[in-house]
Amino acid sequence: MTTSRYKDTYMKIVYSQPHKNGRDVFGKLVPFGEVWRTGANEATEITITRDIILSGKELKAGTYSIFTIPYETTWTIIFNSDLGLWGAYNYNPKKDVLRIELPTTSIKEVAEAFTIGIDARNNKADLYFQWDKTKVIIPVDYKEPNTKP
């Protein structure tokens, strides 16, 4: 689990961590071009208490499953309203609420365990996924709460 808070916006991501264990990860263990649960076991879930902006696109407050479609140089990140799923076996694209396409970055040190993290900087953050030698960063903008006059 990873969490972040900015003022009254709270973000929590619950996921399981698969490990590399000497395997070739992307393109082999996790095939390119196929929907992945973004972790192991149950589908990864994110809960946010207020609307946020992810890579320029709004995601309303709520709880969503996170799926990804990894490619060699980009990933499609999917936020889906279906919850409590085991893996991506029953993934239903009709329940997608947001899709974002982002570039991958190569990292020097091998990340043995799949990791989701948040680098927070006041009202901005980088939500990232990394495993093996691949990292994907989603820019996050926390919306300022509406102020009453």
The two tokens of residue 93 are: 């694209």
What is the predicted pLDDT for the residue at 85?
Answer: 96
For residue 2, give the nearest of 18, 23, 17 by alpha carbon. Answer: 17
pLDDT-derived band at 146 (thresholds 50, 70, 90) equals: low
Per residue in 7-39, pLDDT (tens digit) is 999 999 999 999 999 999 999 999 999 999 999
Tokens of 141: 């903008």
The pTM (predicted TM-score) of the whole model is 0.95
Q: Where do the domains of the chain lie?
A: 2-142
Q: In terms of C-beta density within 10 A (0-12 exposed, 13-18 middle, 19 or more buried), how is residue 130 classed?
A: buried
Output the 3-class SS for 43-67: CEEEEECCCEEECCEEECCEEEEEE
Give the tokens for residue 101. Answer: 């396409």
Distance CA 129, CA 15 (A): 11
Report the chain's mean pLDDT, rounded to a whole number: 95
pLDDT at res. 75: 98
Q: Give the pLDDT of residue 144.
A: 78
